[in-house]
Amino acid sequence: MLFLATTLDGLQMGLCFAVLALGVYISCSILDFADLSVDGVFPLGGVCCTIMMLRLGLPALPAVLLCFPLGMLCGAVTGVLHVKFRISNLLSGIIVMTALLSVTLALTQFLTGTGYTTTIFSFRSADLTGLFNGALTSALTDRFGRGAKDYITIVILLVIVFIAKLLLDLFFKTRLGYLLRATGSNEKLVMTLGKNSGSYKIFGLALADGFVAVSGALYAQLYTQYDNTCGSGKVVLALASVIIGTAVFAHFRRMKDTTAVILGAILYSLCLNYLVLIDTNGIYLKLLNAVLFALILIFNEKISAFLSRIRRKKEQMQHG
């Protein structure tokens, strides 16, 4: 029973972080830009979504979607710092991240109205008529019992992730998408096409952080609470998802990178959740975390060597 609950929780987390991983995939893999602003944009998405819902009374879906342009704005700032003012990519990300930490803190204060006596801000789940607690959910819960809520949450998240993936895939087939891919791997070519590669870099970073903010918004709703520290470590988590996804699922040649990244995020989150079962005190969690990450990559290397050996043998048999 505990195992099932852990699995469901891991799936929800994984799907939520899949959106984040898609964003980091754009900045890290497509644009070859290590964007550290993620750690700041993620909580910003969470707090802004919460404010829009609780203070401005917006329904959940528009609140989540509005986080996208918000994230884009932050990404654009990172991009402008890097492209126009020639600050290195790591530093421009750190600058935006640091600034956003204060911004989110200030926004939290605005939300409570009593100042931030505690850094963790939480509220009753009944207040948050969010995506996962909506009318549909309650109707189905009535019918299938309390356990149904977890499955419904997963289905809703799946739909969101699937739409995000489809849109991104489609985008990368357009002319603008092509140019963005070219910007990441050969800026000089973009220039000889008569285009300013800097502008496209800024646009790409904006797009990436849009996804990150949406992921933060989903995260806040998933746990029906906003936590100011929820941003820390998100870059690492997302990068791990992207790397695991693209490495492990590279064996499936026809699989798209976006699918691999999503599966990577789910796989990694599931593993993280199972670790909690092993180490209930949570002291060695990070250590186990690191060991797991290393193990996945090492095993993956072995698997790919094994697969290529089989492939070679097959070819030899055919020729011989």
- Rounded least distance, CB 26 to other proteins, Å: 14
Q: Which of 125, 174, 229, 308 binds other proteins (CB under 8 A)?
A: 174
CA–CA distances in Å: residue 187 to residues 54, 86, 179? 44, 15, 10
By CB under 8 A, name the one of 189, 250, 277, 294 that touches other proteins.
Answer: 189
Residue 197 in the binding site for other proteins (CB under 8 A): yes
229-247: burial string, b at 16+ Cβ within 10 Å, e else: ebbeebbebbbbbbbbbbb
User: Which of 177, 232, 297, 304 is close enough to bind other proteins by CB under 8 A?
Assistant: 177
Taking CB under 8 A as the criterion, which residues in 272-301 touch other proteins? Answer: none
The structure tokens 């790397």 sit at: 243
Nearest-angstrom CA–CA distance, 302 and 297 = 9
Encode 248-280: b = buried (16+ Cβ within 10 Å), e = exposed.
bbeeeeeeebbebbbbbbbbbbbbbbebeeeee
Give which of 128, 152, 124 is closest to 138, Cα–Cα: 152
Of 107-115, 123-131, 182-190, 289-297, which segment contacts other proteins by CB under 8 A? 182-190
Closer residue to other proteins in complex, CB, 176/291: 176
What DSSP string describes 56-70?
A: S---HHHHHHHHHHH
Residue 181 sits in the site that holds other proteins (CB under 8 A) = yes
How many Cα atoms within 13 Å fall on the side-chain side of residue 152? Answer: 20
Binding test (CB under 8 A) with other proteins, winner from 8, 148, 195, 227: 195
- Quick one: tokens of 72? 């884009």
Is the CB of 60 or the CB of 168 nearer to other proteins? 168
- C-beta closer to other proteins: residue 155 or 166: 166
Tell the smallest beta-carbon distance from residue 184 to other proteins (Å).
9
Closer residue to other proteins in complex, CB, 65/189: 189
Q: Pick from 182, 242, 243, 260: which binds other proteins (CB under 8 A)? A: 182
Binding stretches for other proteins (CB under 8 A): 171, 173-179, 181-182, 185-186, 188-197
